[in-house]
Structure 1
Amino acid sequence: MTSRNWVRLFMTTSLTGGLTTAIVGFIVRWKEFQPYFTEFRIMDILSTTIWLIVMGFLFSVISQMGFFAYLTVHRFGLGIFKSVSLWNAVQSVLILFALFDLVYLRYVNFAKSGESIFPYFLPAVVLLLVGLIVSWFKVKQTNPSAFIPALFVMVVVTLVEWVPVLRVNERSWLYLMMFSLMACNAYQLLILHKLNSQSEKDRQKRSHQSGSNKDNPLKGKINKRPSI
């Protein structure tokens, strides 16, 4: 990816995180912020919005660090297992363990005496459903082998990024960070291959303009459809 497209990815992902956090923040903490609107407290609305957007920027940075860390791990995994299908099988097992831990560990650590385990399934179900939808779109845009890596990012990577809030288990922050991370990770997954393709076209264009296209091994080639 060219530096220009990397900056574009960083800025748009940050914007995605900021807007998502602002919207979700007002929804999940509506009881707290409702007086700002009913009493027309414009300064309070603006300051709260700015604060939520800044928090969204922070969440987006966490998302981007986790996403690029996974891209490195993904390449290592393909190199170690020497097979896309085997590496995908390993990731599938890790996805199942992550979902199980999300339900079981939260229930063990935070459930009150006699409380049912079923409410603790909700975040895991939401995470899985969103992951399946995003992975389906990723496959439509690239190839079938991208399904499991995309689902791994949406489930396991999101969970790892989500750990600081999961340990506190404060409801509003739980969902605030969850939806922001999911939005940022989904955006990065669905835009990455487009930016990589555009970066390659830009390099070919510059090479052609500089007169070196004749000896360029990338001449006339477009990068193969990615595995993620």
Structure 2
Amino acid sequence: MKIKSWLFLFFTTILIGITGAIVVGLFLKLPEGGSFLDFFLYILGLIGFGALFSVFSQMGFFAYLTVHRFGLGIFKSHSLWNGVQLLLIAVVLFDLFYLRYSSFHKEGESILNYIAIPLLLLAYGMIIAFLKVKQTNNVAFIPTLFFITVVTVLEWVPVLKENNTLSLWMAFIPLILCNTYQILMLHRLLQSNQKKPLAS
């Protein structure tokens, strides 16, 4: 990827993360106090929060691209590497349920609260994977599903440990938006880079 394309991806991803944090932050909790200064400081905090998690998202994205290349090199075939990724998807989603349930479940609380997040994340990941396949090819399905599920959960871990509903969603929304944007933009940027020399 050329520097120009990377800078475009970097800054647009940060904007998406900031926008997501502001929207979910204002939706879930309005700033305490009614003054303009309180509101301004709250928005600044949301901007910083969104920018921070957009950077986490980008670190995870480029780390996965590296790991994906290593995986293909080690296992020598897409089918074998895809099998490993599917296994890791199952393990991570189960851990997302089990570790949160075993750590935070209270007597009388429904288990559905802990099952819903992994299932919804899996469903969302499959939707994005199908979109990626439609835009590229069938080979992209498992890597996209892996990135949206496993990498998002790993980026989300620092906040998952707190089990604070507000923090969970304020981190998750910027992460999932940034991860979705990056995985769906990657092939467009690569195609754009390949076409430019031919057009010149």
Tell me the TM-score range normalised by the shorter chain: over 0.9
Match of 2:83 in 1: 89
Match of 1:223 in 2: none
Gaps of 5+ in 1: 209-228
Q: TM-score, normalised by structure 2?
A: 0.94
Gaps of 5+ in 2: none
Runs of 4+ displaced beyond 6 Å: none
Match of 1:7 in 2: 7
Q: Which has the larger radius of gyration?
A: 1
Measured after TM superposition, the shift of residue 192 of structure 1 is 0.5
Give the RMSD, CA atoms, in angstroms.
1.5
Q: Return the alpha-carbon distance in structure 2 between the equivalents of residues 9 and 100 of structure 1.
A: 32
Give 2:112's aligned amino acid.
Answer: F
Q: Return the alpha-carbon distance in structure 1 between the equivalents of residues 115 and 47 of structure 2.
A: 29
SS of aligned partner of 2:110: coil
Q: Deviations over 1:68-118 (max 9, x none)?
A: 000000001111111111111111111111111101110001111343321
Judged with a 3 Å threshold, the aligned counterparts in structure 2 of structure 1 residues 135 and 102 are, in CA distance, closer, same or farther, namely: same
Give 1:102's aligned amino acid.
Answer: L
User: Is 2:183 aligned against 1:189?
Assistant: yes
Q: Deviations over 1:146-174 (max 9, x none)?
A: 01100101000001101100111111001
2:174 to 180, 187, 194: 180
2:194 to 193, 200, 211: 200
Match of 2:151 in 1: 157
Measured after TM superposition, the shift of residue 203 of structure 1 is 4.1
Give 2:62's aligned amino acid.
Answer: F
Q: Deviations over 1:169-228 (max 9, x none)?
A: 1110011111111000000000001111112223445xx5xxxxxxxxxxxxxxxxxxxx
Match of 1:216 in 2: none
Measured after TM superposition, the shift of residue 47 of structure 1 is 2.5
Q: TM-score, normalised by structure 1?
A: 0.83
User: Is 2:24 aligned against 1:24?
Assistant: yes
Where do residues 1-228 of structure 1 align in structure 2 (5 Å cutoff)?
1-29=1-29, 32-33=30-31, 39=34, 41-205=35-199
Q: Percent identity?
A: 50
Q: Return the alpha-carbon distance in structure 2 between the equivalents of residues 111 and 71 of structure 1.
A: 35
Deviates further, 111-120 or 147-156: 111-120
SS of aligned partner of 1:168: coil
Give 1:154's aligned amino acid.
Answer: I
Give 1:18's aligned amino acid.
Answer: I
Q: Deviations over 1:45-70 (max 9, x none)?
A: 23222221221011000000011000
The structure, 1 or 2, with the larger RCO (C-alpha pairs under 8 Å, 6+ apart) is 2
Match of 1:213 in 2: none
